[in-house]
Amino acid sequence: MIQRIQSIYYILAMICLSLLLSGMEIFRFVGSKTYYVFSAFGLESGNVNDPQGNLQPLSKMPFFLTLISFILFIFIALMGYKNLTRQFKLARTIFFIYLLLIVSLVIFAIMGGGMLSTDETKRELGLGFLFFVLGFPFCFLAQLGIKRDKKLLDSLNRLR
């Protein structure tokens, strides 16, 4: 299982997504008096003039649960190496769900500043956004590896 390249790609994607569970900020909106931080634990607000940087939870978004369930879904696809057709279907589903998550996160990053505050806010991308987007090519490469293995096994079955 580990000797297959798509297993390594899926493990790298799971590591990138699990780094977000440490509380890394994905992006922040900075206004004149307050700033808002979006991480896996939800949306938190803080005062710009506060020297200690205390954050108050603003809303608990289910992004933490979404990340955990998505990591488990990738793990299920990783462990389904004995049935390549099912693994390929799971890989394709993972790819499209990941794409949907990235698009929704980008839309929230673009539109979120106007929804949160009435004053002018500036958007700053955090390191968590990089790790979230970095896992996407790994899922795509894993899907290509599964497709390549499926094609190889189909050609071997034709020879028998």
Beta bridge partners of 42: 39
Report the CATH number that the domain containing residue 58 is assigned in CATH: 1.20.140
Residue 20 is predicted with a pLDDT of 92
* Residue type at position 67: L
The mean pLDDT value for 116-138 works out to 86
- 115 pLDDT more than 70: no
pTM for this entry: 0.85
Q: Structurally, how many domains does the chain consist of?
A: 1
The most distant pair of C-alpha atoms in the chain lies apart, rounded to whole Å, by 73
**Could you give the CA distance from residue 37 to residue 26 in angstroms, rounded to a whole number?**
8
User: 147-159 burial string, b = 16+ CB within 10 Å, else e?
Assistant: eebeeeeeeeeee
Residue 134: domain span: 5-159
SS3 for 30?
strand
Residue 16 near residue 138 (C-beta atoms within 8 A):
yes
The per-residue pLDDT for range 84-111, each reduced to its tens digit, is: 889 999 999 999 999 999 999 999 888 8
Residue 156 is predicted with a pLDDT of 80
The mean pLDDT value for 23-46 works out to 84
